[in-house]
Amino acid sequence: MKRLWAPWRTEYIHGPKSRECIFCREYGKGDKKDLILHRGNFASVMMNKFPYNNGHLLVYPWKHTGLMEEMGADETLEVFRFIKESVSILKKEMNPGGFNIGMNLGKAAGAGIDEHIHFHVVPRWNGDTNFMPVIGEVRVMPEHLQATYEKLYPHFQKLNTA
């Protein structure tokens, strides 16, 4: 595999590892630093720090559970409302050709954080699976995470939490 210089990963590699769950309500002292775009009554939306594509979002309930059957009706409704709103905002701001939306439920299914349910909303463009990831085994991220955050944040602040 080829290497692509990605200095922003140094923070993750050398930084202190928190035992705190990144999806729990108490996580994060600053939404911008933690890439949290919106906090609702039962769920939140954050950007993925290690995205598959630009605009890769994570939507999750605050309840710390890895079991879908433990999600209440209010949590389920808000999570799916935020997935729907995320698609709408990403369409408006980033103009993708499509989306991958889903979750990996359990370690065996590929969940990186299997103890807290979260859904991925990944914008896709025609040609984003070009020769770089297929042949070169390198993914190119054309926009810095903070620039994407600044672009999306104002849209998410307009969401009603009721």
Dihedral of alpha carbons 93, 94, 100, 102, sign: negative
pLDDT in tens, 86-101: 999 999 999 999 999 9
Tell me the average pLDDT across 137-160: 80
Residue 22: predicted pLDDT = 83
Q: Contact 29/47 with Cβ under 8 angstroms?
A: no
Q: Quote the CA–CA distance of 16 and 33 in Å, as a whole number.
A: 15
For residue 34, what are its two tokens? 């933690």
pLDDT in tens, 7-55: 555 665 566 656 778 888 676 667 888 899 999 999 999 999 888 888 9
Give all domains of the chain, ordered by start, each with its CATH number.
Answer: 34-157 (3.30.428.10)
Residue 155 has, within 13 A of its CA and on its CB side, a CA count of: 17
Dihedral of alpha carbons 105, 106, 108, 110, sign: positive
pLDDT higher at 129 or 4: 129
pLDDT higher at 79 or 133: 79
pLDDT tier at 134, thresholds 50, 70, 90 = very low
Active site residue 120: no
State pTM to two decimals.
0.80
Residue 6: predicted pLDDT = 55
Q: Quote the CA–CA distance of 75 and 52 in Å, as a whole number.
A: 26
- Would you say residue 132 has pLDDT above 70? no
Q: Contact 139/133 with Cβ under 8 angstroms?
A: yes
Say which of 38, 56, 116, 118 is annotated catalytic. Answer: 118
Tell me the average pLDDT across 133-141: 50
Q: Quote the CA–CA distance of 111 and 17 in Å, as a whole number.
A: 18
